[in-house]
Structure 1
Amino acid sequence: MPTRNRGLLAVLMTTVLMIAGLAVASLASAAPSPSPSPARAERAAQTLTWTADNSTTRYKTAPTEAVAGPTTIVFENSTATGNTSGMQHTLTFDQGGGEYNDDVEVNILAYPSDENAGRWEVEVDLSVGTYKFLCTIPGHGQMTGELVVTDGGGGEPGEDTTAPEVDVELAGEQDADGAYIGQATATVTATDEEGGSGVASVEYQVDDLGWQPYTEPVVVDEVGDHTIGYRATDEAGNASAEGNTAFSVVGVDGPDTTPPTVEAMVHGETNDDGAYLGRAEVMLMADDAQSGVASVEYALDGGEWTAYTDVVAVTEVGEHTVAYRATDVAGNVSEAGELTFTVVEAPDDDTEPPVATASVAGTQDSSWSYRGEVTVTLAATDEGSGVARVEYLLDDGDWTTYDEPVTVDDEGAHSVQYRAVDLGGNVSEVGTVGFTIVADTAAPACPAPDPSPVVVMGDVGTDVRNRVTDDGSCTIDDLIRDEARWSSHDAFMTHVRSVLAGLLESGYVTGAERTKVVNAATRSTVGKEGA
């Protein structure tokens, strides 16, 4: 499978991302932060792997059995697992207690275009019992399941805790320095120890350009230095450490004496005179048919030569000149090219402020106070110039730039104010969420169940009996919490659908009753502004 020039691919990938204008909202989570999956000197005793694809009703694969103890949890929602739509999925462990273990907090958001191409890991310590896992993104309420954890004795399930072994073999004609002449063929093999669950999947990537399913030997014929990465997962969900092997490919026609070619282009909105309004973005592309591109450089307005790694944004008003050149692996340097353009002031036509929203997450008691800690997640949208930043103010503190969900664990009453600013300088209205934190005790979640004979959503009633559920202390109304402070009606509806999905699965409500409650919640004013 031939590859294209790494320098050109990196530039093209950057261009696609720029045009797509992707923006990702942070996901609220008190769970351990997921991290990319580097090779590790020591791994947990077992690895459990969940995968997702284009479905909104079920995970593609999900383990159902494990043994207690240190565990690596892998969640992958990538093109390699079948997600061709770019859809976001989460893997979350239920923290509601009751019949399920709630001693492990997992909340991982993954999608193909995220910073780790959709594959993340967290380390946890599982205890004997049953965990419920689910997806918390709206519309994914059916993606649930149970993970049964045993102590591992007496032949119980989960005995395969050993990851498969994976290796690569390179083949091809080599020169005196060990470089492959013309092309190298990489063959990846994986085995699972005798008595293990067997190899489920094998993947590879060339030059860190994205993981792909391995189905046949991979041919690399681009001249230059390369690395091939490889990994495997067995049927029990154990994932191997990632391996990486470096190699070089040289041309078959003797020494490379031909310099590379390099091109430049400018993108941006222009006026009738061809001047760029407020911002011009310069992109450089280089190619070399023999030894490969080693570096690309540019110089803006007669300045120093600078390594080109990403799109160069020019916002200063006036006429500009960008010089550019490229060097190949053999040391040949292209002639310098030049590109001239003009940037003028952009019309100030964005007068609409952005919209900021907030959501509060945590475990609440019967009086709607949060036990132990609260996580506040902020988001903002702007249809004009785009969001520049989001800020928050906790209690009597100072305004602070929002980078990630804010965790508050001091007991007492708190308030969080929030706002957003767009690139046009417009500031949103200040929003406020308030909450109270109490000590995290082992008191029952519902010591005084809601006595209503039927389920009522805000001011909208149903004919569904308000029955007691799971542990004998909480009614359906208690679990739905229609009297709580909700940051938005959408947040309330997400919670309603999640609760009812669990009650339907457990047999506490019928499908028809679930529909009645969801319809009543939809018609209610819970979470709506002014309610």
Structure 2
Amino acid sequence: MVGLTLPALWLWSAEAAAKPQAAQAQPGQAAAQVLTWTANDSMTAYKSTPATATAGPATIVFENSAATGNTTGMTHTLTFDTSTAGYNHDVSLNIIASPFDAGGGRHEVQVNLTPGKYRFFCAIPGHQMVGELVVTDGGGTDTTAPQVSAAVSGDRDANGAYIGSATVTVSASDTESGVDKVEYSLDNGAFAAYSAPVSVNQAGSHTVRYRATDKAGNTSPVGSVAFTVVPPQQRDTTPPQVSAQVTGDKDANGAYVGSATVTITATDTESGVDKVEYSLDGQPYAVYARPLVVGQPGPHNVSYRASDKAGNTSAVSTATFTVAAPDQKDTTPPQVSAQVTGDKDANGNYIGSATVTVSASDTESGVDKVEYSLDNGAFAAYSAPVSVNQAGSHTVRYRATDKAGNTSPVGSVAFTVVAPDQKDTTPPQVSAQLTGNQDWAWNYVGSATLTISATDADSGVDKVEYSLDGQPYAVYTKPLAVDQPGAHNVSYRASDKAGNTSAVGTAKFMVVKAAPDCPKPGKGHGCKD
């Protein structure tokens, strides 16, 4: 398969599906060629579509609005087919439009079309809207050869040689007429058509040369990659080394008091350990994943074995030991505590909800149960953190009981839950200030600098944008210096993190060149143009 670098534009995501929004165009100036699709209430055909276009940059406009005849609010998509044979697949486009989205149903994107046919359709289930766009060569002459590269992949040894085989993947792209063919040559052989990654499994040093030709007949310079293939290692016939260690507190007779822990270790220096298995007291073998704790009083046998990735299995070994019951009776209740978590306001209140997590431990017989009570209600079994979202003051009491029947004293935590703040619906405050040297007529001499400031006391400022002399809005990141002589208009706006956008403000000013006989231009120096 030829790896081609092609333009890709996805204008809809799972997040956008939840809330329709205006499509965002690719960066760059709008193309001179504009192709427009419109939709209305029909589910079987677009209202209007272009039939032909010229290869090269194009602005695609898709409008599904009241202005185009959509009176029901129905959603449509403009989707370019990227899989059906016989069509161009180099433009990946999926625009979803609704009269109620942020763009009012109208969206623009920039694409680069190549000669051939494109199939487009509406991707909404049940809609039958489909058509073709025929693109012809615009008459421009492509004199630029394709870009082509190659990558070698495979398992490598410590010296960088490829073990057993190496795979060479060639990728080519052409932004004008498009890639026509890719060719390769192995070890100075004749060039052949490249259609899929090339696998080389012959041991030795190799060189793969490659080139690409576009549809205008331009061929790239020949590139090459050199690599070495070595035979795979000999088959592993040696089983892993495996051992076990038993640990725990022992009594005078060598028995483990309360419990014994069996830790199994395995190593394999060739293919590597695949799995370790154990059997406790004659039970079926199970996969060993962590140290085995045996707490049942009495004698025990743990059999164990290990297998490597080549399928070799070690001989079975056995660890033999005895577990003795502890002598002393447990009379100590569990340790229990609670923690309250959640978002807090400046007064320490929990906003919207608070979560109470109860933790208990018992080092002797072990924890049997944990219970809690909310606001003096009856105690209930605790199995997961308790979420409290009712506004007001609350108290959670808690206790734990161990397996010997000991119950801890009742503990408690008190807290307050407050309702969350209202949604931010106020746009940011935004202003602009002009600075620079001015002449007697208040014109800025040489250049003017515009500084934009924005504040938002609720959700906070998300971004500030500006437009100079009617150009597309751009993100404002630093003061804007304008030195082009003439009259200028700078429009500016700000959006907060809740999605509110301020009204557009405008700064108007004039920039003039400094007079040749005025060494220090500016208001108050007496110089005039």
When the two structures are superposed, what TM-score results if normalisation uses the length of structure 1?
Answer: 0.34
- Which of 1 and 2 has higher RCO (CA within 8 Å, sep 6+)? 1
Structure holding more helix per residue = 1
TM-score by length of 2: 0.34
Larger Rg, first or second structure (1 or 2): 2
